[in-house]
Amino acid sequence: MDNKQASAKMNWAHTRRTLLERLRRTRTDESSWYDFFETYSRLIYSVARKSGLSHADAEDIVQSTTLKVAQYIGRFEFNPGRGKFRNWVCLITKQQIANHFRKANRLPPLAEWEPGAEEDAELEIEDPLSQWDALWDREYLAHINELALAEVKQKVSPKQYQIFHLYCIREQDPARIATLLGVSANEVYLAKNRVLPLYESATRAIHGEVTETAAA
């Protein structure tokens, strides 16, 4: 790890500590907020960065979004037929980023969005957020995939994971994988059949957790 990577890692740890300290003031269960942060923080950060924000500003968005969630979590009603928790977090994130750009342009912040408002209400956000929904969905799926892979990696051998990753994630030819890793074609298929169900199960489970985290 070079100095730049180490610094980024340290900054992220500091962000988590300071945010959790602020969340304690909400008198909510600290472990629940730790879970929320671990589940959502990198997703929010990634979306903020790809919306055009700097590293420092994206960290601020993580904090402001999480604090808004803490403020309104008591009003959130989990209703699978109308909206998921991640969509609710998406709206809050969207408003925080929009207000950042409005502040930069010396415009007044958007009217406060609160749970219970019409789910389909649109936030008026200028570019660079014109592709917001597609960006959020793309980053969400990438986030779920990253979490699922990390979980699967802990459950199988390094060789099985490597074969699975090359075959199912990077979609390389089985014969090439066998040659590259010095294994038989049969071992490639066995690894795929062993690991793929674990990956699919982890993806479904994590998707459910991300949807319902803190909704209970």
pLDDT at 23: 52
Residue 12 sits in the same domain as residue 102 = yes
What CA–CA distance (Å, rounded) separates 151 from 161? 11
Residue 43 sits in the same domain as residue 68 = yes
Say yes or no to pLDDT of 5 above 50. no
Domain that holds residue 121: 3-130
Band (198; pLDDT cuts 50, 70, 90): very high
Contacts of 56 (CB under 8 A, 6+ apart): none
Which position has the higher pLDDT, 86 or 65? 65
Say yes or no to pLDDT of 40 above 70. yes
DSSP conformation letters of 154-178: TTS-HHHHHHHIIIIIS---HHHHH
Residue 55 sits in the same domain as residue 119 = yes
Least confident span in 2-16, 85-99, 146-160, 174-188: 2-16
The tally of domains found in the chain comes to 2
